[in-house]
Structure 1
Amino acid sequence: MPFDELNFPDYLNQALSKLGFTDATDIQSKAIPLIKEGKDLLAESQTGTGKTLAFSFPLIERINSLPPKKKKISILGLILVPTRELAIQVKNAFDSYAEFSLRNIKSTTLIGGEDIDGQIRQLRMGLDVLIATPGRIIELIKLGEVRLFELEMLILDEADKMLDLGFADELKDLLSALPKKRQNLLFSATMPKKVQALAEDFLNEAEELRISRDHITGDNIEQRLIEVDANLRRQVLQKLFKEENWKHTIIFVSSKRSAFNLANKLKKAGIQAEDFHGDLSQEERIKVLKRFQNKDFPILIATDIAARGIDISKLSHVINYDLPRSPMDYVHRIGRTGRAGKKGVAISFINPATEAQFKTIEKQAGIKLTKKRVDGFEEITPIEAPKAKGPIKGKRKSKKDKLREAKQNKSS
């Protein structure tokens, strides 16, 4: 649908023009009219489909239509996200959408790992929109620094990830601190039972939007499955990187140590790569992501901290060097590419020990891939049969034999 049909005011059309956006995505064309009508919304939409714009534009339009705030320190819009990286990304996007707003909309991020005193100073100076992680905003609410009595809109983005990270209690505490009269929007890439239960707790007669499960992994992503010996993955990685001329790639691994080690080995092989994981400080994370976004180096090796909330423009490849723990993590990982109508490639490495794990991913994600091998790396070590435990019959004496022998020795 062309954005013109959504009847935005001129200041939002100016932002669309500057950003070069002409057509709304499916979630945008369906969600925006419902949000503008003031309805609560429960929306399931895969990553990279434009959810941030879908909730930001109606919020900006709503704020412009409101009378002046009763208190300078009160908040009009609250956007909750699971990770620091996603908070920063949403903040940057929101500010670009609100660039031509008639009303000066002040926003900030409230996230852990940053100076809480500085955040308190910003709140006291007056803000309109907060983009926050649950832990930090709960902390500031308990300190009496966040005033939500004029809140117009509450938005939960990546709700499934928030619950996966253990924020259920924080969300319940937060919901109890909010005014009852408000509009609620819940966006999630997946809709497990725990997200539906959360929705029932705070949504009021919500409209529901859901994507087809058949398209959960995105039509713009070419998915490939490569069978390779576990000890030769790096060599295959290097071969494909050079032969296929990968431009901008995230490689997912299972641990911080793996990220660090693989990055160092690739550097020794002459391939520029940086590791990205939870041991980095917030300042270091921002610096690495900015350099990667600017294409200062081609490969980012990351743990699942990067599976959500990182929107890298024109990301060409996502590599599952280690398979994710769950099928939904697979969906979120590969969703880093093929975004905003662009094409992308997702490659997963498997071996005999992980093949069954990938079959589970295929079943849950609604896909079926044909495994292939890379020329020169066809040999794969089979899974070793488990070693027998305990005595082997015919070679060691059984307990019965030992007892029988002991009795014989006593009688003799």
Structure 2
Amino acid sequence: MTSEVLFAGLGLAEPLLRAVSDAGYTHPTPIQAQAIPLVLSGGDLLATAQTGTGKTAGFTLPVLHRLNTTQPARQPAAGRPRCLILTPTRELAAQVEESVRTYGKHVPLTSLVMFGGVNINPQIAALRRRVDILVATPGRLLDHVGQKTLDLSGIEILVLDEADRMLDMGFIRDIRKILALLPAKRQNLLFSATFSDEIRELADGLLDNPGRVDVARRNTASELVQQSVHLIGQKQKRELLAHLVKKHDWRQVLVFTRTKHGANRLAEYLGKQGIPSAAIHGNKSQNARIRALTDFKEGTLPVLVATDIAARGLDIDQLPQVVNFELPNVPEDYVHRIGRTGRAGSAGAAVSLVDGEELKLLGAIERLIKRPIERVTIDDFVPAPISDSAPPAPAHRQQPPRGNRGPRPGQGALQERNRGQARNGARPAQRGNGRAAPQHKKNG
């Protein structure tokens, strides 16, 4: 059984085992127990696993081992990394590089993270020094290639993390450009939460006789996540959420909305109710997103409101509470959402606020997870009259196309400001269309 396996039995070097012990771990997760020996053997790997299964350590630990115990294929030089780890979003890139530093603190290897939405000059300065492991989003990586500040000719190991999300976000062309720049002889590791036809096609062209690791998707039958549904009118959802946070004294809750504007309005409403909250999404600056995430992790910010793409890759240990303020349109995204809680043996709860128009979505989710979700009523919740509680433009009105209603005062200026942010690299690309600064716009 995996539970009987110890990190000490996986073949990792002593400095890495010491770092693992420093982090408080002795037993690997299933994907770590299976993936680490395969990566150490030097072969290619195709792994199907979600965030929350421990996959990051599953590749960072053996990559650190191989780089530390083998001679470089080329003479080390400034700006010529030996390992490239590609991720779809800024947040995931930052967390992967943090993992590299955590587990590599006792070995003489260096790392660098790069993504768009921030000043490129500090990254250029860092590339003037030796970098062994580079963690990057595709667009900003190609920026550096174009400016000739980065040399990819020394790459010995390539990792594609959350490859399915990279394809969803329109990065396939960028990935192909990057692959063409790499040495033909290298080790390739591909991680994906799903195994679609597109991922299979990518894997077939990238991997050479790969080992396979397939870890069952978390929370499809997890007993650690207590799932419940509150049937409530859309206009009363925000009141109920504030009531639940105060009643249960929730100190750390991740709330999902469908839209960026809905996330902003909900965070603003909760703040007015005396509940410190922040929204994270593609229109927020990178510094604002990092600050909000840091405060949330440290417990000084009790509520973080996020869209699905912004939350992808968030790795928060022992998160106790997830709330679906609105159900996702894709049932699998529900599984991703509630997978933020109930990790590493800790109990967690996922609450969904569902109005009448979302009942079909709820049915699709229950069919996917193959069990009904308990309906719960709150006896002590008395909503204010609709006329007093409803905002001028409630969150559910963001779902239909904008053509269904007239513009609000100042909306044109807001849209132009958002377009300006997009041009400056503040939001992720959904398609691969030509733009003035395509790389920055794609960087999650």
Q: Could you state the TM-score of these two structures normalised by the residue count of structure 1?
A: 0.87
8 Å CA contact 1:226–1:347 kept in 2: the answer is yes
2:48/2:193 contact within 8 Å kept:
yes
* Aligned counterparts, 1:21-36, within 5 A: 21-36=25-40
1:315-366 CA distance string (max 9 Å, x none): 1111110111312222222222222332211111212211111222233344
Q: Is the 8 A contact 1:48 1:338 kept in 2?
A: no
Deviation at 1:313, TM superposition (A): 2.5
Compare 213-222 and 122-131 and name the one that shifted more: 213-222
Cα separation, partners in 2 of 1:370 and 1:378, compared to 1, 3 Å: farther
5 Å matches for 1:18-167? 18-67=22-71, 69-73=74-78, 74-101=80-107, 104-167=108-171
**Is 1:308 equivalent to 2:312 in the alignment?**
yes
Deviation at 1:219, TM superposition (A): 4.4
State which of 245, 258, 262 in structure 2 corresponds to 1:258: 262
For 2:28 and 2:361, the matched residues in 1 are separated by: 36
1:298 aligns with 2:294: no
Query: Shift in Å at residue 377 of structure 1?
Result: 5.9
Larger deviation, residues 344-353 vs 142-151: 142-151
Residues in 2 aligned to 1:29 and 1:194: alpha-carbon distance in whole angstroms: 27
1:193-226 residue CA offsets vs partner (Å, 9 max, x unmatched): 2222211120111122213358546443222222
Encode CA deviations 1:14-41: one digit per residue, 9 max, x unaligned.
1011101011000000111111111211
Aligned equivalents of 2:347 and 2:18: distance in 1?
Answer: 27
- What per-residue deviation string (whole Å, max 9, x for no partner) do you get for residues 276-321 of structure 1? 2222111111111111111112111112233311112321111110
Report if the CA contact (8 A) 2:49-2:217 is conserved: no
CA contact (8 A) 1:319 1:347 kept: yes
Which residue type is aligned with residue 141 of structure 2?
I
Give, as a single letter, the amino acid of the residue that structure 1 aligns with 2:174.
Answer: E
| CA displacement 1:113-135 (0-9 Å, x = unmatched) | 12223212222222111100011
Matches within 5 A, 1:5-404: 5-67=9-71, 69-73=74-78, 74-101=80-107, 104-212=108-216, 216=220, 218-375=222-379
Q: Secondary structure at the match of 1:48?
A: coil
Post-superposition shift, 1:100? 0.7
Secondary structure at 2:254's aligned position in 1? Answer: strand
Question: Cα gap change, 1:374/1:292 in structure 2, threshold over 3 Å: closer, same or farther?
Answer: same
* CA 1:214–1:47: 2 relative to 1, 3 Å: closer
Quick one: distance in 2 between partners of 1:369 and 1:259? 25
Q: How far, CA to CA, are the matches of 1:43 and 1:126 in structure 2? A: 30
| 1:231-256 alpha-carbon deviations (Å, 9 max, x no partner) | 21122212222333322101111122
When residues 41 and 126 of structure 1 are mapped into structure 2, their CA distance, relative to the original with a 3 A threshold, is same
- Displacement of 1:55 in angstroms is 0.2
Decide whether aligned partners of structure 1 residues 304 and 215 sit closer, same or farther in structure 2, where only a CA change above 3 A counts.
Answer: closer
Q: Equivalents in 1 of 2:21, 2:68: separation in Å? A: 19
SS in 1 for 2:357: coil
Whole-angstrom CA distance in 2 between matches of 1:219 and 1:180? 45
Residue 30 to residue 228, structure 1, CA distance change in 2 (3 Å): same
Contact residue 219 and residue 225 of structure 2 kept, 8 A? no
Native 8 Å contact 2:263 2:279 kept in 1: yes
Cα–Cα, structure 1 residues 81 and 365, in superposed 2: closer, same or farther, change >3 Å?
farther
Number of aligned residue pairs: 378
Look up the equivalent residue of 1:86 and give its one-letter code: L
CA contact (8 A) 2:331 2:361 kept: no
Kindly tell me: are residues 16 and 343 of structure 1, through their superposed partners in 2, closer, same or farther at Cα, counting changes over 3 Å? same
Comparing 24-33 with 143-152, greater Cα deviation is found at 143-152
Q: Which amino acid aligns with 1:84?
A: R
Shift of residue 143, structure 1, vs aligned partner: 2.8
Deviation at 1:144, TM superposition (A): 2.7
Does the CA contact (< 8 Å) of 2:280 and 2:306 recur in 1?
yes
Between structure 1 and structure 2, the one with the greater Rg is 1
Correspondence for 1:386: none
Secondary structure class of the residue paired with 1:178: coil
Contact persistence 1:292–1:298 (CA under 8 A): yes
Aligned residue for 1:131, secondary structure, equals strand
8 Å contact 1:46–1:216 — kept in the other structure? Answer: no
